[in-house]
Structure 1
Amino acid sequence: MKLDGYLFGEMLQSFRQFKNLTVEELAEGICTEEELISFEKERAYPTLDVLYKIAIKLEVELTHFLDIASKSTVSYPNAVIQIIEKYKRERNYEAINTIVQQEKSNPLFNQKPLKQYLMWNQGICAFYLDGNPDKAFDTLSKAIAITNPRRSSLSEREIEILISIGIIFYETQNYRSAITIFLEALNNIEKLPYIKNMKGKLRILFGLSQALTEIGEYKESLTYCHKGLNLCINEELLYLLNEFHYQIGENNIKMGEIEKGKEYLEECLHLLKLERKTKIQKIIEGEIEKLLNS
């Protein structure tokens, strides 16, 4: 979203002064004072999530700022979705829950796909924030039912919600239930004439491989690992690439193929180094040490 050329800074300053807030008071908990000053002077522009926080603190609708940038392709619901997706990547479920609760009663989200999107994230928060898997399963199932009551011939979005159900089954150690859900998701996604976001299929394949490993089905897990690995290569995606290498390594080691397993684990670490994911690299190094000494 581009705000340059639309008197954004002047508008921001006017709202701040109207609320009798100093630069320090408005910036607190959102950004630095220097950044806020640069926003008001239009030397820089806030990211969407920063803008959202500013709007909440000023007690104005985000649409006020988006209307100023009306030549942008970003609509209010799309802006909210972008913010939620950012927080999802950061696993900031408290922020997601706050937004979902604020927007649930917003008439702009009455359309079925948008209502479904909020309910999907509400279900995710029920598990990761409240620790309530039953509530999460119920909410996620209701989210799918908004657009597909019979749960047949699922759309890509509906499959994504199904993946969330599978992940929660996995995280609660209900591995066989997770496998059933992931297979349902895989069956549906393979029937789609076109897949907009291939990351969904990769999540299914990885979820399947993980759950199968947990119940000792190492060979079957390897089948899905290699499908995922080939998909990453064919689609030129780094997403889950190192995770598939790790899973293949783990399966091989548990099958007694130690040297073969080590090769994949070393490649996993190599990929993490290339991506400069040092924190994850240290965690994986610890997991590999446990695996080799088990």
Structure 2
Amino acid sequence: MKLEKYLFGEILQSFRQYKNLTVEELAEGICTVDELISFEKERSYPTIDVLYKFSKKLDMELTYFFDIASKTTVHYPNAVIQLIEKFKRDRNYEAISNIIQQEEDSPLFTQKSLKQYLMWHQGICYHHLDGDSDKAFDTLSKAIALTNPKRVSLTEREIEILTSIGLIFYDTKNYRSAVTIFLEALNNIENLPHVLNMKGKLRILFGLSQAYTKLDMYEESLSYCYKGLNLCINEELLYLLNEFHYQIGHNYVQMGEVEKGKHYLDECLHLLTLEKKTKLLSIMESEIAKLLKS
């Protein structure tokens, strides 16, 4: 997300000078000096995560950048959500937790859906940062109950939170409970009249395929793998495409159909090569070598 022009450069420069920081000192660890100069002169504008880093270094609230500039078209809670989503993709749960602590008592987040969003990610942080799955389950369940106490006819957001519960069951090796939750999530999402973000359904299908594989239920896993694979193709999505190929290959190898499995494993590596995901490619090559050796 880019920030629109709203006297941002003047605000940033004035705060930098107020804190007695040189351009080099503020830019260090965040951006290049040339980029900071460009921001201050309003030749270009930072992304929300870069702005967040500026606010931390300047020891000021991120909201101030938005509050002080009445001409801004950026909605602050949406900016915070996009920042959390960015950190979630990076698996930076500590940064997410810090944001939640700053915003949970903010009057801007009293709206039920926004409060639910923070609770959802707080639950995720309890699991990944504290290793407290019980507290995570409790927080995530309360997040769903905030808008749907009876947990029926779930919305897309509520299904995403339910999927997070399933993922934590999977992480803690409670695979049967994970399957139960994923099936509940799948049933709900398939009953929706329209799905805005098909990635949510793909996450559920992949979660089911992984959990069934762990339970040595390879045929069941394959059925959800193929559903996910077909969904990727029909929706023209790369999201989880290589993962479904790997899971299919893994299942066939475990079932003794090694050559069939190798075909899908090779496709997984091919996709990673095309996407130039070199780090993940190296990891998967090692995993596939161990799988075939066993």
TM bin, normalised by shorter chain, reads over 0.9
Task: Report the equivalent of 1:164.
Answer: 164
CA RMSD of aligned residues (A): 1.5
Task: Report the equivalent of 2:199.
Answer: 199
Task: Report the equivalent of 2:127.
Answer: 127
Alignment: residue pair count: 293
Does structure 1 residue 146 correspond to structure 2 residue 146? yes
Mapped partners of 1:24, 1:141: distance in 2: 46
Task: Report the equivalent of 2:182.
Answer: 182
Offset at 1:200?
A: 0.4
Does structure 1 residue 242 correspond to structure 2 residue 245? no
Mapped partners of 1:172, 1:46: distance in 2: 39
TM-score (norm 1): 0.95
- Mark the runs of 5 or more structure 2 residues left unpaired by the alignment: none
Task: Report the equivalent of 1:113.
Answer: 113
Task: Report the equivalent of 2:82.
Answer: 82
Identity across aligned pairs (percent)? 74
TM-score (norm 2): 0.95
Does structure 1 residue 70 correspond to structure 2 residue 71? yes
The 10-residue stretch of structure 1 (128-137 or 19-28) with the greater mean CA deviation from structure 2: 19-28
Mapped partners of 1:271, 1:200: distance in 2: 21
| Structure 1 moving runs of 4+ over 6 Å | none
Task: Report the equivalent of 1:14.
Answer: 14
Offset at 1:4?
A: 5.6
CA contact (8 A) 1:3 1:69 kept: no
Mapped partners of 2:282, 2:56: distance in 1: 38
The 10-residue stretch of structure 1 (56-65 or 254-263) with the greater mean CA deviation from structure 2: 56-65
Counterparts in 2 of 1:71 and 1:99: CA distance versus 1, 3 Å: closer
- Mark the runs of 5 or more structure 1 residues left unpaired by the alignment: none
Counterparts in 2 of 1:263 and 1:30: CA distance versus 1, 3 Å: same
Write the mapping of 1:199-278 to structure 2, written as runs, cut at 5 A. 199-278=199-278
Mapped partners of 1:274, 1:29: distance in 2: 31
CA contact (8 A) 1:209 1:224 kept: yes
Mapped partners of 1:70, 1:93: distance in 2: 32
The 10-residue stretch of structure 1 (181-190 or 18-27) with the greater mean CA deviation from structure 2: 18-27
Counterparts in 2 of 1:278 and 1:174: CA distance versus 1, 3 Å: same
Task: Report the equivalent of 1:28.
Answer: 28
Offset at 1:15?
A: 1.7
Task: State the AA in 1 paired with 2:178.
Answer: A
CA contact (8 A) 2:4 2:45 kept: yes
Offset at 1:137?
A: 0.8
Offset at 1:60?
A: 3.6
Offset at 1:71?
A: 5.0
Mapped partners of 1:5, 1:82: distance in 2: 18
Offset at 1:49?
A: 0.8
Offset at 1:55?
A: 2.3
